[in-house]
């Protein structure tokens, strides 16, 4: 007895210590290292390492990065003859230093364009713009940026082509042109078509036709990026699974590029991520200004677990899963589609603590292997 007591004490202490330290040292990127990259979207402050605690969390948990805003054309190409690469250089250096997979977002997109680009009115000018824009940016980061969203959000909800400034000036040809220009500037970079709601049936048909057409016309498309700005109850796991299967049947990789799950009411049952849509706020639309109730916290954890269970089932088809932001405090969903709400869409809360959603993602791997 005399000996057993201290022995038991030592063993339980050791167990307790090793359990805590396992929790402390476990990370998403390690848990999923044999499956797909686990990415995050970085704000300008995060790229510039303004907050040390946030930075260690990023380096611990993620092995792929996307710039949330600073590589969009209004920032990189503010005037016709002026590029600004100050922040994108820092972004790329950050990824290289930390040996992360670096994704470029985005080359051709109708939103967050510099004002001068919106005024381009004819095909000659637009052709010259695309050539200069894609060639300059992709060549600059040749061999450094691993993959690109070459075209972002070219489709309407019904699967037809969006009447963007690119379509208006060049017609459908702009799509294959963009992919050809990017492949020429960096033949080894992986080239993606990226969009929201392309797991929905009608838009998916449009995306499949678009990818087939680009390929048929000699463009190189390596992957499709499903943004994944989702809700607690939709889209269904079945539709997501159908999408993974149908896209990978085209011979392209599937990435989930901007994953977040809103827990707030959506005006008019809004789906998607059209960033120009804005609505008035009200208390009813912002039900959890102080904290997320346990019941919803649990729902979020279950939703993330079922989504990742599906991702693991199809890990051979999935290249990367990127969350749209590091923590809840940073999420664009606090301001879109209604300004000034408090949303909880990510695995980390605003104080950088891991939520039940995070634990459920790690648990999925513990029970699986
Ligand atoms: C969002 C950013 O998160 C916001 O900070 C910004 O104000 C608007 O754009 N689809 C995309 C992303 O491809 O670039 C968008 O990011 C979200 C929707």
Q: Is the pLDDT of residue 75 over 60?
A: yes
CA–centroid distance, 67 to ligand 1, in Å, is 10
Q: What is the reported pLDDT for 273?
A: 83
Mutation pick for ligand 1 pocket among 65, 68, 230 (CB with most ligand atoms within 8 Å): 68
Cβ(324)–Cβ(68) below 8 Å? yes
- The answer to whether the CB of 44 is under 6 A from ligand 1 is no
Q: What mean pLDDT is predicted for residues 284-297?
A: 96
Distance of alpha carbon 334 from the chain centroid: 17
Q: Which atom of ligand 1 is nearest to the CA of 194?
A: 13
CB under 8 A, 24+ apart: contacts of 154-158:
154/193, 154/195, 154/210, 155/195, 155/198, 155/203, 155/206, 155/207, 155/210, 156/203, 156/206, 157/197, 157/200, 157/202, 157/203, 157/272, 158/202, 158/203, 158/206
Q: What percent of the chain has pLDDT over 70?
A: 92
199 burial via Cβ count (<10 Å: 0-12, 13-18, 19+): buried
Q: Is 91 in the pocket of ligand 1 (CB under 6 A)?
A: no
Task: Output the average pLDDT for the chain.
Answer: 93
- Atom 5, ligand 1: which residue's CA is nearest? 332
Of 35, 37, 129, nearest to 79 by C-alpha is 129
In order, the DSSP letters of 134-203 are HHHHHHHTTTTS-EEEEEE--B-TTSSBP--HHHHHHTTHHHHHHHHHHHHH-TTSEEEEEESSTTSHHH
Do the Cβ atoms of 103 and 147 come closer than 8 Å?
yes
343 burial type by CB count under 10 A (0-12 exposed, 13-18 middle, 19+ buried): buried
Our answer on whether the CB atom of 85 is closer than 6 Å to any ligand 1 atom is no
Mean pLDDT of 301-309: 98
CATH says 28-368 is which class? alpha beta
DSSP character at residue 106 = E
Give the CA count within 13 Å in the CB-facing half-sphere of 187: 0
Query: pLDDT tens digits, residue range 325-356?
Result: 999 999 999 999 999 999 999 999 999 999 99
Characterize 349-362 residue by residue with b for buried, 16 or more Cβ atoms within 10 angstroms of its Cβ, and e for exposed. Answer: beebebbbbbbbbb
User: What DSSP line would sit under 261-284, residue for residue?
Assistant: EE-SPPGGG--S--TT--B---GG
Ligand 1 contact, 227 CB (< 6 A): yes
Tens of pLDDT, residue by residue over 77-107, are: 999 999 999 999 999 999 999 999 999 999 9
Please indicate whether residue 331, judged by its CB atom, sits closer than 6 Å to ligand 1: no
Does ligand 1 lie within 6 Å of residue 186's CB atom?
Answer: no
pLDDT band at 49 (very low <50, low <70, confident <90, very high): very high
Kindly give the number of the ligand 1 atom that is closest to the alpha carbon of 196: 10
State pTM to two decimals: 0.93
162-217: per-residue pLDDT in tens?
A: 999 999 999 999 999 999 999 999 999 999 999 999 999 999 999 999 999 999 99
Ligand 1 center to residue 180 CA distance, Å? 25
User: Higher-confidence residue: 93 or 19?
Assistant: 93
Confidence of residue 282 (pLDDT cuts 50, 70, 90): confident
How open is the CA angle 25-260-225, to the nearest 5 degrees?
100
Q: Closest residue (by CA) to atom 18 of ligand 1? A: 273
pLDDT digits (tens, 9 = 90+) for 203-241: 999 999 999 999 999 999 999 999 999 999 999 999 999
């Amino acid at each position: 007895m005399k000996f057993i007591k201290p022995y038991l004490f030592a063993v339980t202490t050791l167990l307790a210590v090793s359990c805590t330290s396992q929790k402390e040292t476990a990370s998403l990127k390690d848990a999923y290292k044999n499956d797909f990259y686990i990415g995050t979207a970085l704000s300008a402050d995060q790229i510039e390492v303004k907050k040390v605690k946030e930075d260690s969390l990023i380096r611990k948990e993620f092995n792929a990065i996307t710039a949330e805003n600073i590589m969009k054309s209004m920032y990189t190409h503010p005037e016709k003859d002026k590029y600004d690469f100050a922040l994108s250089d820092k972004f790329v250096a950050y990824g290289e230093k930390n040996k992360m997979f670096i994704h470029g977002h985005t080359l051709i997109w109708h939103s967050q364009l510099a004002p001068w680009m919106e005024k381009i009115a004819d095909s000659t000018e637009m052709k010259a713009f695309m050539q200069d824009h894609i060639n300059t940016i992709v060549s600059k980061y040749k061999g450094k940026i691993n993959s690109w969203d070459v075209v972002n959000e070219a489709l309407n909800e019904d699967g037809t082509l969006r009447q963007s400034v690119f379509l208006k000036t060049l017609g459908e040809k702009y799509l294959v042109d963009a992919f050809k220009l990017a492949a020429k500037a960096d033949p080894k970079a992986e080239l993606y078509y990226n969009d929201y709601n392309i797991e929905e049936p009608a838009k998916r048909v449009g995306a499949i036709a678009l990818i087939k057409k680009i390929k048929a016309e000699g463009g190189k498309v390596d992957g499709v990026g499903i943004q994944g700005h989702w809700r607690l109850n939709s889209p269904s796991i079945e539709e997501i699974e159908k999408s993974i299967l149908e896209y990978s049947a085209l011979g392209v990789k599937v990435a989930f590029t901007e994953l977040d799950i809103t827990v707030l009411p959506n005006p008019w049952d809004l789906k998607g991520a059209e960033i120009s849509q804005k609505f008035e706020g009200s208390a009813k639309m912002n039900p959890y200004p102080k904290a997320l109730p346990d019941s919803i916290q649990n729902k979020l954890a279950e939703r993330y677990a079922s989504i990742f269970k599906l991702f693991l089932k199809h890990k051979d088809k999935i290249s990367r899963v990127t969350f749209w932001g590091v923590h809840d405090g940073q999420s664009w969903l606090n301001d879109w589609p209604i300004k000034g709400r408090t949303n909880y869409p990510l695995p980390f809360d605003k104080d950088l603590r891991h939520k039940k959603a995070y634990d459920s993602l790690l648990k999925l791997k513990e029970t699986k292997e």
